Structures are given as C-alpha cells and as structure tokens.
Amino acid sequence: MTDLVLTGLRKTYGDFVALDSTDLTVEQGEFLTLLGPSGCGKSTTLAAIAGLDVPSGGRITFQGRDLYNAETGLCLPPEARNFGVVFQSYALWPHMTVEKNVSMPLELRRVPAAERRARVAETLELVGLAAFARRYPGELSGGQQQRVALARAIVFKPPLLLLDEPLSNLDAQLRLQARSWLKDIQRSLGLTTIYVTHDQEEALAMSDRIVVMKQGRIVQMGRPEDIYGTPLHPFSAQFVGSANLLEAELLSVGDDGLARVRLPNGPEILGHAPLPLTGAGPVSLVLRPERIGLAPVAGPGPVNEIIVQAGAVSYLGEGYEQVLDLAGQSLRRKGERAMTEGPGRIQVAAADLLVFRKD
Amino acid sequence: MAASSALRATDGGRSQAVQWLIWLVTAVLMLAPALPILLQVFVDRPLYDSGWQYGFGNITALLTSPAFGRALLTTLVFAALTVVIAQAIGIFAAIVLGRTDLPGRSLIGGVLMWPLYLSHLIFAVGWLIAYGPSGLVTQFATQIAGGAPWTLYSVLGMAVVAGVSQAPLAYLYCLYGAVKSVDPALESAARTVGAGPFAVLRRVTLPLMLPSIVTSAALNLIIAVETLSIPLFLGRPAKIETISTQLYMLGVASSTPQYGLIASSSLLLIVLVAATLMLQRLILRHSHRYETVKGKGVRTAPLRLGPWRWPLALAMWAFLALGVIVPVICIVLRAFTSFLSPLIAPWHVLTLDNFRQLFGNATLVRSIGNTFFVSIAAAVIATLLAVMIALVVQRSNFRLKGSLEALAYSPRVIPGMITGIGVFYAAIVLPPMGWLRDSLWILVIAYVMAALPLGLGVIQPAVAQISADLDKAARSSGADWLAAMRRVMLPLLRAAMAGSFVLLFVSYLKSYVIAIFLMAPGLEVMGVSMLTLWTNGEVGVTAAFASLQILGIAVFLTAARILMGVKLYD
C-alpha cells in the first residue's frame, strides 16, 4: 500500500533551485533512504515532508490526504502532520529530563497521565535507556542522546518516521552499532521510514530502497543491490562505491548493448551500455576500482586487455589501492595485490565497463 | 504556481492571534507617542487648543532663531569632545586591561565601570562637589596655586565629565567586542611572521577593534547629544546652552511652554540621532572584513609591560582616583556634613541633617516609592514584551515580523526626554489615554517604550543562541507555535530574562530624563527630584539622595549577582 506521494515537488530560493519537480512514492512499512552529497535536495525534501519548510510548488499526500498542495494553497503545519522527526543535532530540550523529553509529545496529545507514564517507560525500555529516565540530556553521551531523540520521535506511534542524518554525529564504531540497532527497531515496529544521509554505506546497509539525488534532482532509485550493481547514471556509480569515471568517444553500439569506444589518445575498448545509446559522440565510462583484474578473466562476454602505467600504492589493510594512468586519465584500482610501478596490463570485462551518454 | 509563492507556513490560529496582538501592542506603544510630536511640528498652537492651523511656522521659527543656532553648534562641539575623551580612555583601557600583565587589572576594570551604574546626574553632582568653583578639591588647589586653576563651567569641562562617565561604554564594547573575542591565532599568526608584540597590537588587534570603536562612538555621541544634567548643571551657570537644556527651559522651566518649538527641536534631535546611526551603518558596511572566527586556540600570554608595569598601574589608579573615586567620595562626604571646606576637617561638621530633611519631606519620600514601583513594573513589562517580540521576529512565520522589529527598535532614534514629551502629547491628544495623566502608569509606559531596544539587545542574542532545531522538534512533536514557545523557548530564556530585568531596572532607577516632561504632583521619581533639588541649590539634600541611590544600586546589583547569578556587562 502506498503511504506517501510527492508530485512535482519544487523548492526554490530566489533563482536557486534546491529541489526540481520531484516525484516519489513511499510504500507502507518501507525504509527509504534519500542519498546524496550536501546541497542535493535530500534535506529539503525531508523538511517539506515534515512541514518544517514550505515548498515552492507541487503536492504532498499521505494516505490519500493532502499535506501540501500548491494548487489549493494548503500547507499543514508540522504539528498537524503527526510525523516523528529525528534531527541531526538530536534537538533534545536541555531543560527537561529524558523522561520529560519523551513524554512531551504525549502531553501535547492530551494522553492521560497513567497511560503516558506507561508508554514513556515502554519506549525508554525499547531504546535501552530505562535507567536514564531522570537524567538531563547534557548528562548523556552522544549515542544515548541519539536514542532519546529516537524515543521522542516514536513514542506517539507516528505513521511515518523521518530521520535527518541521525548517525552523523557519532564516532565510527558507535555508528556501526547504531545502524543495526536502528534498523531492528524500525523493522520490529513496521514503521514507514524516510532516512536522509550522505553516507553510502549506511544507505546500502539499511534501506529497502535508495533514492540517489544530485543538484535537486533524483538520479536513480532502486534496491541497494540495483544501485550498486547496475547504476543507471555515472553519478550513482561514482557516489555509491566511488567508481572511476573516464572520458571517451563512442564509435558504435550493438543491439545487445555492447559498445565500442575509443579513449582519447588511447586504445579502442568494449563496454556495456545499460541505457539505450545511439550514434556517436562523447560518453562517460564508469569502472569500479575492484573490478579491475590483473589475470585474464574467463566469463561471459568479451574482456579488454589494456596497457596502463602503474603508479603510487596505498595499503588499506584488506588490500591495496593503486593509482593507474590510462592514456593520460587517472584510475584507481583496488585488489589483493598491487602491480609493480611502471607499465603493466589490466583486464576489464566489457560488462563491468559501463558506458553513459555524457551529461 | 501563483498560489504557491503567496503560501507561507502557518503557526496555527491561536498562535497567529497572539502574534497579531503582540504586533498591535508594539505598534500602538511606539506610534502613539511619536505621531503627536510630528503633528505638533506642523500645527501652530498647542495640540490641546482648538482651531489648528497647519504650516511650517514652527520650523522656520526654530531655524531662524540665533539662540538655537548657537545651541546646535555648542551641542555638536560638546558631543564631539565627549566622544573623543570617552573613546580615548575606553580603547586604551580595553587594550591595557585586556591584553597586558598590568598589576591589579581586574580591580582597575571594576572601578572603571562605576560611572556606568551611576547616572550622569549623580556623576555631575559628584564632580561639582569635588571640582566645581567652590568644590573641595578646587579650594585645595586654589590655596596652593593662589587662583582657580580650572573651571568646570565650560564646554571642555562638560565634555571631560561626560567623557569620563561614558568611557565604560567604549571600554566594554572594545573589550568584549574585540580584545577578548579576537581569535588568538590571528595574533599568534602575526607573531610567527615576525611582528613584535606592539606591532601586533597596532597592526592586528587595533584594526580588528574598528567595528567596536565605531559602534560605541556612535552610542556615546547619541548619549552626549541627549544628556541634560551635565549641560544644565555645568553649562547654564556660564550661559552655555545646548539643545537639551533649551528643550528643558522651553518645556519644563517655562511657565508658558512653547510646544511648537519643543516639537521642532525634538524632531531635529531625532534627525541628528538617526543620522548618527546611519553614518555608523555606512562606516560598518564592510564589517565582515573584521569578523573573526573564534578559535579554540590557547589565549596568547598577556603582553609583558616590563619596566612600564608599575608606572602605568600608578597612572591608571591616579586617573581613577581623580575621575571616579574622588567624586563619589565627595558625594557621600557632603551627604553627611553641613558643608565641605579644606579649612575644616569633615568630622567637625558631621551631621545627619541632610537625611533628616530628606526623610522629612513627604514628596521626596514618595518619589523613592514611586521610583521603585515604576522601575519594577516597567522592567517586568519591557522584559516580557522584548521576549515576545524577539520570539515572533526570530522564531515565527508571522507576516509582519519585519515591521515588528523596526517598530520595536524605533526608540533608538528617539532621545529619552522626547519619549517623555511624546507620551505626554499622546495622553493629551488621544482621549482613551487621558486617564493616564495622573497615574504612575504613564511613566511605566514611557519607560517601557524608551528602553525596549535595551531589553531586546539582551534577549535577541540569547534567542539566536538557541538552536532552531529545538522548536522545530517541538513543532513536529505536536506543539503549535505558541506551545513550542511556552514549553521550550521560555524556560531556556530564563537567564536572559533575568539579565534583561536587572539591566532595565538599574537603568530605570537612575533615569531622570524620560520622566522630566511627565512630572505632575504625585508622580515624582528620584532622578527628577534630585534635578530639582540641585537646581534649587539644595546641595546637601541632593548629595544625601544621591548617596541613597548609589547604595540602592550597589545593593541591588550585589543581590542580583548572588541570588539570580546575573552579572551585568560580563
């Protein structure tokens, strides 16, 4: 069942377009992540859904009801939307105890005192903070504050949970734990969740579906596996999994999507076009660093053997990363072993070399 | 799409009603006193008379009066000299006390602040008792030098008294706005590229102080233009008139007040003040060049003065002793004696007569009660109003918040005396305000209006420091704007509100100019009573009254520091 629908949603600040006519639907119980670099419009989208910011045009409906509609001039204030919001800064009220912070949404909804106490206790139990009920936010660690923020957002059983980079203020170790903990709670409550992050690992690990955004537009949406495995835009490939980007000239395309391209001042190679591509012209090639082989690979489809100049090596622990020079363009390669510096050969399957029309 | 551009976020019906109410109260409070003055400028007779004729008669009368031209020139010379003296002392003190290893610098800084807690009136009284023509110190000096070595009854004398009394403002702005907030890394950076400590002061610290210097200079200029007691006490005996004394003579001392002239001179004062503020803005339009990002760097070690330490400390103490401590001691001494003379030791003329006279006078005693009532009521109301205005301006989607802020800050261009005149006019012209004329509430209203920007100056930065996420979180938790403000913002603003209350209370307690035009039997306040006592030649009773006020302010500030944790100017 569809919960949330954004239709042609726009937000402009003067001439600057923060969000450009965006369509999006979110299913009930789904964990949807808006992923992109800062300024891509992900937080703008979240603020528009929460009612914290008024869009410039379009429409937002939730369970068939209008939240915002530019045509009719309707814009429900945040308190009328009944969504749980977790802020990047946690935004805990410093003058109230943990208990009071969590109980406030219930007080505002005029829940009777006895039921209020029970639900606050139950929610604090759920986030593992029952022992900290009487503490003030300033007396808690960052991870505990983040849990209070979540408790406050879910205590009134909102139909939609909105999270704005909730883990970005935690250190790396804690972030990893909080990730799975948050996902567990979301799944056990069956909460429809929209999650905003710029961290691709977080997005891949937690989401049912990822929406990759760039400069106010949706670049690609799909399951994490699809985003990583079959990027439909050079930007998704670059942002998720930090793929190499090369410039090339398209020579010809076959019906099977097999494309013949020529690198500037370099060799002709074979790649794969995931989207229909016609004619000649400049193209972008996308190649994941870990898909650059050293030994000839057997497998379906043709394999390119390319001569490169191997450069500086960095040791990463689980392997090596090395900079390669391919006819003047720079590539990063990841592998268990490094090449010796100087001229060498790499093996790239045509299926791993994605060809896109240049933007 | 046309509808979308007009669409704004709403704060809920209840909240919008409150926002409109706040706007309305502020608009009435600010416009009701300002508009009658404007009207009076163009009406040929007092507003309470019938048969108004409109015209520019008042303005031409003012501009063609030679006495007015002289007063304007005197005012400008006096104000400019005052600013030069106040800024020189303030800047020097900020650098020396904030940046060097001068011995006893915190104590020196504390005493330097005294004039800020006292009114110009008390300060002028103190200086006159010490250095006036028959002052204690003057008589000493005359005996030694065989002739009066100086006269306070001159424009320079006025400027020295006003300059010393306004130096704390320049000192505070330069100390907290610059010396203490400049990123130490900027100074360290200059050291690393080869600048010596004094080159750093001259090339980095001092230029970065420019916005603080300009801002405090503009404030001091405005205060000097408005001040009444110093020109009245020091200038008039020598027939030196400023615009403020002229206004006073026209409106209060005269039996037939010339309301047209009063209104036109008021307008001119307002224009002068507004021009000063605009000039300040013009000078500071590139102020981002002086903005420094605060670093976490360790404060560089204070500049070492070396052999200059003790001579400099001695010089500072000598200045404070002569400029601040002696005048205050003279007031207290005079309060407990029948007269002061170097020929007779004070303990031979000790007396409580001054206080007996003071407490035997029902009007004077009443003025103490009135002052406390008006100060407390106005400080509470102005603080609450400032909080509400700040929250609407900074934290709401209210349609008219821009005009609300402009209205709330408009008293900045209206000198205190003129606020009094305006409220007085409003009570005459607007029938619903007539009942106010015999009520202390007319003073409360004038005080609230005059000092609203001062309260906002404390509240607004405090609101800005509270993350907007906190009220957004309340909104998405189900609170409308009003509930979010009440439950989240108000509790977090408690300290700022206490600070605003203390600051306003003290400034009301020592104020005298606002109330001057509103005086009526039964409405006396301490400041105005003191002004009248002094002009009637009752030096001893004035000194007793001034001592009481000094004591009251000292006790109150100490209590505020201990009980509420409020430290003014810190």
pLDDT for position A63: 94
| Cβ pair B545, B529 in contact under 8 A | yes
Question: Which residue type sits at A210?
Answer: I
Angstroms from B486 CA to nearest CA on chain A: 12
What is the C-alpha separation between B401 and A236, in angstroms, rounded?
A: 43
Q: Any chain A CB within 8 A of the CB of B5?
A: yes
Alpha-carbon torsion angle A127, A129, A134, A139, nearest 10: -110
Query: Which of A101-105, A181-185, B143-147, B422-426 is predicted least confidently?
Result: B143-147
The DSSP secondary-structure symbol of A137 reads G
pLDDT for position A299: 67
Mean pLDDT of B300-323: 87
**B404 by DSSP, 3-state: which?**
helix
What is the C-alpha separation between B484 and B395, in angstroms, rounded?
A: 10
Alpha-carbon torsion angle B155, B157, B162, B163, nearest 10: 100
What is the C-alpha separation between A222 and A209, in angstroms, rounded?
A: 5
Asked if residue B300 has pLDDT above 70, the reply is no
Question: On the CB side of A341, how many CA atoms lie within 13 Å of its CA?
Answer: 5
Q: Within 10 A of A293 (CB to CB), how many other CB atoms are there? A: 17
The DSSP secondary-structure symbol of A132 reads G
B3 to A83: CB separation less than 8 angstroms, yes or no: no
Asked if residue A75 has pLDDT above 60, the reply is yes
Name the token pair of B50. 């019938």
What is the C-alpha separation between B236 and B242, in angstroms, rounded?
A: 9
> What Cα–Cα distance (Å) separates residue B192 from each residue in B185, B299, B300, B304, B306?
10, 15, 12, 17, 21
The proportion of chain B whose per-residue pLDDT surpasses 90, expressed as a percent, equals 50
**B512 by DSSP, 3-state: which?**
coil
Name the token pair of A207. 């989401």
ipTM of the complex: 0.83
Residue B269 pLDDT class (50, 70, 90 cuts)? confident
pLDDT for position B10: 66
Q: Within 10 A of A30 (CB to CB), how many other CB atoms are there? A: 18
Domain ranges of chain B: 10-55+376-522, 73-241+285-291+305-343
pLDDT for position B95: 87
Asked if residue B208 has pLDDT above 60, the reply is yes
Angstroms from B468 CA to nearest CA on chain A: 8
Residue A205 pLDDT class (50, 70, 90 cuts)? very high
Residue B9 pLDDT class (50, 70, 90 cuts)? low
Of residues A308 and B203, more confidently modeled: A308
Q: Nearest 5 degrees, angle CA B228-CA B229-CA B235? A: 90
* Pairing, β A209-214 against β A16-27: unpaired
pLDDT tens-digit profile of B132-157? 988 899 988 888 887 778 889 999 99
pLDDT tens-digit profile of B404-431? 999 999 998 888 888 888 888 888 887 7
Asked if residue A227 has pLDDT above 60, the reply is yes
Burial call B209-242: b when 16+ CB within 10 Å, e when fewer: bbbbbbbbbbbbbbbbbbbbbbbbbbbbeeebbb
Cα first-last separation, chain A: 35
| Cβ pair B331, B546 in contact under 8 A | yes
What is the C-alpha separation between A200 and B209, in angstroms, rounded?
A: 46
Residue B65 pLDDT class (50, 70, 90 cuts)? confident
DSSP labels, B220-268:
HHHHHHH--HHIIIIIGGGT---HHHHHHIIIII-SS--HHHHHHHHHH
Q: Any chain A CB within 8 A of the CB of B563?
A: no
CATH topology of domain B10-55+376-522: MetI-like fold (1.10.3720)
CB within 8 Å of chain B, chain A residues 40-59: 50-57
pLDDT for position B5: 38
pLDDT for position B292: 52
Residue B183 pLDDT class (50, 70, 90 cuts)? low
* Same topology between domain B10-55+376-522 and domain B73-241+285-291+305-343: yes
Asked if residue B506 has pLDDT above 80, the reply is yes
Q: Within 10 A of A263 (CB to CB), how many other CB atoms are there? A: 18
Name the token pair of B374. 């008006």
State the best of A108, A160, A165 to mutate against chain B, taking most chain B CBs within 10 Å: A108
pLDDT for position B569: 63
User: Where is A96: in which H helix or E strand?
Assistant: none
User: DSSP E strands: which ranges in B75-144?
Assistant: none
Question: Which residue type sits at B141?
Answer: A
H-helix segments, chain A: 42-50, 98-108, 113-126, 142-154, 172-189, 200-206, 224-229, 234-239
What is the C-alpha separation between B378 and B518, in angstroms, rounded?
A: 15
Name the token pair of B471. 């009220």
CATH topology of domain B73-241+285-291+305-343: MetI-like fold (1.10.3720)
pLDDT for position B343: 79
Query: Which residues in B lie closer than 8 A to residue A77 (C-beta atoms)?
Result: 9-12, 475, 480-481
CATH architecture, range A2-235: 3-Layer(aba) Sandwich (3.40)
The average confidence (pLDDT) of chain A is 91
Asked if residue A25 has pLDDT above 50, the reply is yes
Q: Any chain A CB within 8 A of the CB of B107?
A: no
pLDDT for position B291: 56
Of residues B13 and A71, more confidently modeled: A71
User: Where is B100: in which H helix or E strand?
Assistant: none
Residue with tokens 């100086």: B150
B473 to A109: CB separation less than 8 angstroms, yes or no: no
pLDDT for position B6: 44
Taken as a whole, chain A contains a residue count of 359
Cα first-last separation, chain B: 51
B1 to A57: CB separation less than 8 angstroms, yes or no: yes
DSSP labels, A7-42:
EEEEEEETTEEEEEEEEEEEETT-EEEEE-STTSSH
Residue A158 pLDDT class (50, 70, 90 cuts)? very high
pLDDT for position B531: 93
Residue B288 pLDDT class (50, 70, 90 cuts)? low
Nearest to A122 by CA among A141, A138, A103, A108: A103
Residue B570 pLDDT class (50, 70, 90 cuts)? low
Query: Which residues in B lie closer than 8 A to residue A84 (C-beta atoms)?
Result: 476
Q: Within 10 A of A281 (CB to CB), how many other CB atoms are there? A: 10
Residue with tokens 């028959």: B134
What is the C-alpha separation between A153 and A188, in angstroms, rounded?
A: 16
The proportion of chain A whose per-residue pLDDT surpasses 90, expressed as a percent, equals 72
> What Cα–Cα distance (Å) separates residue B242 from each residue in A280, B151, B154, B246?
86, 18, 12, 6
